[in-house]
Homo-oligomer: A and B are copies of this chain.
Amino acid sequence: MQVNNLETLFKKTLATSKLTAKQQAVLQVSLNLFSEQGFDGTSTSEIAKAAGVSEGTVFKQFKTKAGILEALLNPVLDDVLPMAAGEFLTEMNQSDLPNFQQLLQYMIADRMKFVLENQKQIRVFAQEIIRNPKIIQTLQVRAAAMIKGEAGDFLQQYKDSGQLVDWPSGRIIQYLLGTIISYVAPQVLLVPTKDFDIQQASTEAAEFLARGLAPQN
């Protein structure tokens, strides 16, 4: 498990960007305002005021308002799909195929953590996927490729070893995503509760999914 801090994605973006302090302020403030008010509901004038810069500065680096949005969303798009399955194994320090429920719990915790640490980006992302279907189409194509490739092979090992029901891999991934979303959505949509326990939530979710995805009797 990576040692992540709150909003690690955004901080990573800033750390690698070589942006001036003012440009970083523009990005930070834009993230806050977009996640609260929406992209169209936020004006460049507002961004400038909140960042303590002139309105011209808002456009210097990012050229357009949409350029700011792109700078905020691209890291999310890169990371929102889970990392390759093999990397989970490496992080779990397992050379062998782990117990399926354990793997589930690990993966679920990882994705929950990702969402909870990057809530503002996820909010902006969620608004944008509704307004701009191309984004979700791109992700769908990526997800399909993963399912046909390494992730599908990975799941197949579990099916072959009698730990996983022999349903299409896409269907299995779908339920995984649906269950994770059912836990994280309240945190993203409402004032997040400080007492969300990733360990407990992911254990519960893994328990449910392991039962639902157990091989046929």
Contacts and interface: CB of A to CB of B under 8 A. Distances in A.
Interface of A: 37-41, 123, 126-127, 129-131, 133, 136-137, 140, 171, 174-175, 177-183, 186, 189-191, 204, 208-209, 211-214
Contact of A130 (B40, B127, B179): B127
A190 B136 contact: yes
Nearest to A139: B189
Chain A residues touching B, majority SS? helix
Contact of A182 (B137, B177, B190, B214): B177
Contact of A137 (B130, B190, B204): B190
15 contacts: A38-B127, A38-B131, A40-B40, A126-B130, A127-B131, A129-B189, A133-B191, A136-B190, A175-B179, A175-B182, A178-B179, A178-B181, A181-B181, A208-B213, A212-B212
B178 A174 contact: no
A80 to B, nearest CB: 14
A128 to B, nearest CB: 10
Contacts of A189: 129-130, 133, 136
Contacts of A212: 208-209, 211-213
